[in-house]
Chain A
Amino acid sequence: MGRITLEGITKEFGAVKVLHGIDLDVAEGELVVFVGPSGCGKSTLLRLISGLDKPTSGTITIDGTDVTRVNAADRGLAMVFQSYALYPHMSVWQNMAFGLQNEHLPKAEIAERIEEAGRMLEIANLMDRRPGQLSGGQRQRVAIGRSIVREPTAFLLDEPLSNLDAELRVSMRAELAALHARLGKTMIYVTHDQIEAMTLASRIVVLRAGKIEQVDTPLNLFNKPNNRFVAGFIGAPTMNLLPGKVASAANGNATIHFVGDAHVTIPVTRSFNQGDEVTVGLRPQHMRLTDASDETAVHSTVDLIEALGTETVVHAHTPSGETLLAVLPGQAALSRGEPIALGYDTSDLHAFDSSEAAVAARA
C-alpha cells in the first residue's frame, strides 16, 4: 500500500507552464524528498499528488488506481503543511479529531487513535490547548499527529521544518526519520534544504524549472551527479566549479586544462575535440594541500581561513580570479595571502560538458 506513480504530469497556470512532463515512481514505504531551488515546482507537484490541484495533463496512480481526477479527500493521503495549518479555533484534540469525524468513525476509535498518536509524539498533555498556546515545535508535532491519526496510505509533507529554528530543526529531522522507520509508510517530503534531503531521503528527486534533473539515493547523487546543476546543488559547502578546456582526447580519455596550469587526464563517457569547453567540479572536502610540483594541483592564494578545530575551511582565489573553497581536515597552518597548491584524487574529479551533462566516467 502506498505506491504512487506519476506519468507525464504537466501543470499550467494560465500561460505559465510550471511543470514539464514529470515521470516518477514512488515505491511503497519509501521516503522520497523533492528538492530544488524555490520556484522549481516541487510544492506544485506535491499539491497535484495531494489532489488539492489537478494536473493539466498526465496521470497519477495510487496503488494501481488512477486518481488523477479524484478529489483530495478521497485519495487516502494526509498532508502536513508548511504553516502547519492547524485550525486556530479548535483545541489540539479537536484538530486531530476533525478529519476522523468527517469520516464518521466511531467515537471510541477516534479517541483511541488520538491517544496513541499523542503518546507517540509526546503531546498527550497538550490536548486541551489551542494552537495559539503552543510553541513552534509543539505545533509541528500536532500537525504531524493530525496526519498520523488519519492512517493514510501515504504522507505528504510540504517543507514541514522550515518554520522552526535551527536547533529544533535538527532534532525534528531525526524524529521524522525515526517516525518513518516506525510507521513504514510512504512519505513524500518537499524541502529546499539539501541537508534535510540528504539526511532523510530513501531517494531524492532534484527538480529545476519544472523538470526532474535526477532521481537517486542521497549518496549516489553526491557521488555521481548527472549534471552540473545537481552537482552544484547537492553537498555543502557547494562544489567548486571551474572552467577548463580539453587539451587532447583519445581512447576514452581526455586531458583537461583548467585554472591556468592545472591539467588532468580522466576517463570520459563521450568523445571530445581539442578546445571543447568543460567545467571541472571539485568538492571542497576532496581538496588537500600538496606540493607545488604536482601538475594536477590547483594553484591559488589564501583569502580567508576559518579554523573550526576539527577542520579548516580555506577561501582562496586562483590566478585567473575564480574563488575556491577547500575543507581541510585538522588544523592547517596557513595565513592570509599565502600561495598554496591544492591537490585531489583524480577519481574525485567531476567534469561537465557545455550542455552541463556529467562526462567523467565513474566506477
Chain B
Amino acid sequence: MPTIGQRAGALAFVPIAKGLSSIDKPLRAWQKKTGHGGMAAFFLAPNMAIFGIFILFPLVVNFLYSMSGGTALFLEERSFVGGEHYERLLNCENYLDTATCEDDLFWNAVWNTAGFVVIQVALLTVVAMVTALILNRDLRARSFWRAVFFFPVLLSPVVVGLIWRWILQRDGLLNLMVVEMGGEQTSWLTERTWAFVFAVGVSIWAHVGFYALILLAGLQAIPKDLYEAAEMDGTRPTRVFFRITLPLLMPNLLVVIVLALIRAVQVFDEVYVLTGGGPGTSTMYLTQYIYEIGFASLLRNPGLAAAASILMAAVLVVLTLFQLGLARRNDKAAKR
C-alpha cells in the first residue's frame, strides 16, 4: 500500500516532472556519451560542489589560517607565522591556573567548557534515562507525555535563551516563587554560581527530550518476553533493571552519552543568549571564544580563532570516531 506521503509525493512530482522534460533531452545525450559513470557524476555534482567549496575547502585552509597572522581576511594577504598561535594557546605554566597562561581567556573558556561538559552530560543522561524509563511504563496517553518532554527540543536557541532570561530576570517568575516561599529576590544571571547552574539547567531543559527519545526507542526494542521470563523467575525489579534493562540498553546509552558530549563541547547559542558569557567570563565557552576572537572583539585575530577551532575539532574528531565505532558495533550486533 502506498502511504499518503507517497501519494502526495507522486501528485506533487508528476506535473513538475513534465515541466522538467526540457532538462531530460540534454541529459539523455550526456548519458549516451558517458554511461552510468557520467550520470553518477552528474547526480553527485551539485552536492559535492557545495560540499567541496563550503565545507571541505574551508576545512583544509583552516590549518593555513591557524598558521598565519594579522587581521586580514584573505589568506594571500596574511603572513605566515608557523606554530605561533598554537604556542600562544598552549603556553601555560600551570594549566589549572588560567592566570599563568599566555592566553588566559582561552584557558578560561577551556575550563568552563570542561566543567560544563562534565556536569551537563552527567545530569542530562540521568534525567533522560529516568524520563525514558517512566515513558516506557504502561502509561495512558504516552504520546502526550512524550510530547511534553520533547517539546523544547525544536525551539530555537534564541527562543530558549529569551524564555529563560524572562523567567530569571529580577522581577521574573522564579523570584516570585522565591519571594512567596519567604526568600529574597535574587539576580540569578549576574551571580557566577547561579549563572552556571542555569546555563547547565537550561541546556538540559532544551535537549533532554531528544536523548530521552533515543533511550525510549532502545527500551521499546527490548523484547517483552525477557521481562516476563524474569517475572516468572521471581526476579526483583532492581535486579531486572541492572541485569536486563541496563545491559540491553547499553548501546543506546553509549550513543546518547557520546552525542551529548559532542554537542556539549560545542555549547554556544542558548547560553550565549541567556548569559552573554557573563557575569564576567564565567559562562564563556569555547565556541564563544572562537566567535569573539574570530569576529566580534576588538582584539580580532582570525589565526588564533582558527587555531583554537582546530584544537576543539581534535576533541570532536576523537568523540565522533568513538561514536562511529559504536554505531558500527551496534549494526553488527543487530545483524547477528
Interface residues of A (CB under 8 A from B): 71, 88-90, 130, 132-133
Is the beta-carbon distance between B9 and A89 smaller than 8 angstroms?
A: yes
Is the beta-carbon distance between A133 and B10 smaller than 8 angstroms?
A: no
Query: Which B263-305 residues sit within 8 Å CB-CB of chain A?
Result: none
- Tell me the minimal C-beta distance from B246 to chain A in angstroms: 41
Number of interface residues of B (CB under 8 A): 7
Partner among A71, A89, A132 whose Cβ is within 8 Å of the Cβ of B10: A89
Report the Cα distance A88→B1, complex, angstroms: 8
By a CB distance below 8 angstroms, the chain A residues around B1 are 130, 132-133
Report the Cα distance A88→B3, complex, angstroms: 10
Report the Cα distance A71→B28, complex, angstroms: 12
Report the Cα distance A133→B1, complex, angstroms: 6
Query: Which B5-23 residues sit within 8 Å CB-CB of chain A?
Result: 6-7, 9-10
Report the Cα distance A218→B45, complex, angstroms: 53
- Tell me the minimal C-beta distance from B54 to chain A in angstroms: 34
Max chain B Cβ within 10 angstroms of own Cβ: one of A71, A88, A89: A89
14 contacts between A and B (CB under 8 A): A71-B32, A88-B2, A88-B6, A89-B2, A89-B6, A89-B7, A89-B9, A89-B10, A90-B10, A130-B1, A130-B2, A132-B1, A132-B2, A133-B1
Report the Cα distance A132→B6, complex, angstroms: 12
By a CB distance below 8 angstroms, the chain B residues around A130 are 1-2
The residue on B at minimum CB distance from A132 is B1
Report the Cα distance A130→B7, complex, angstroms: 11
By a CB distance below 8 angstroms, the chain A residues around B7 are 89
By a CB distance below 8 angstroms, the chain B residues around A90 are 10
Report the Cα distance A52→B42, complex, angstroms: 20
Report the Cα distance A181→B10, complex, angstroms: 38
Query: Which B295-329 residues sit within 8 Å CB-CB of chain A?
Result: none
Report the Cα distance A92→B309, complex, angstroms: 57
Q: Which 3 A-B pairs have the closest CB atoms?
A: A132-B1, A89-B10, A89-B6
- Tell me the minimal C-beta distance from A359 to chain B in angstroms: 49
Instruction: Given A88-B2, A89-B9, output 10 extra A-B contacts at Cβ < 8 Å.
Output: A71-B32, A88-B6, A89-B6, A89-B10, A90-B10, A130-B1, A130-B2, A132-B1, A132-B2, A133-B1
Max chain A Cβ within 10 angstroms of own Cβ: one of B6, B7, B10: B10
Report the Cα distance A130→B1, complex, angstroms: 8
Report the Cα distance A208→B304, complex, angstroms: 69
- Tell me the minimal C-beta distance from B3 to chain A in angstroms: 10
- Tell me the minimal C-beta distance from B88 to chain A in angstroms: 54
- Tell me the minimal C-beta distance from A52 to chain B in angstroms: 11
Report the Cα distance A90→B13, complex, angstroms: 12
Report the Cα distance A89→B2, complex, angstroms: 6
- Tell me the minimal C-beta distance from B238 to chain A in angstroms: 48
Report the Cα distance A130→B6, complex, angstroms: 12
- Tell me the minimal C-beta distance from A269 to chain B in angstroms: 50
- Tell me the minimal C-beta distance from B161 to chain A in angstroms: 44
By a CB distance below 8 angstroms, the chain B residues around A89 are 2, 6-7, 9-10
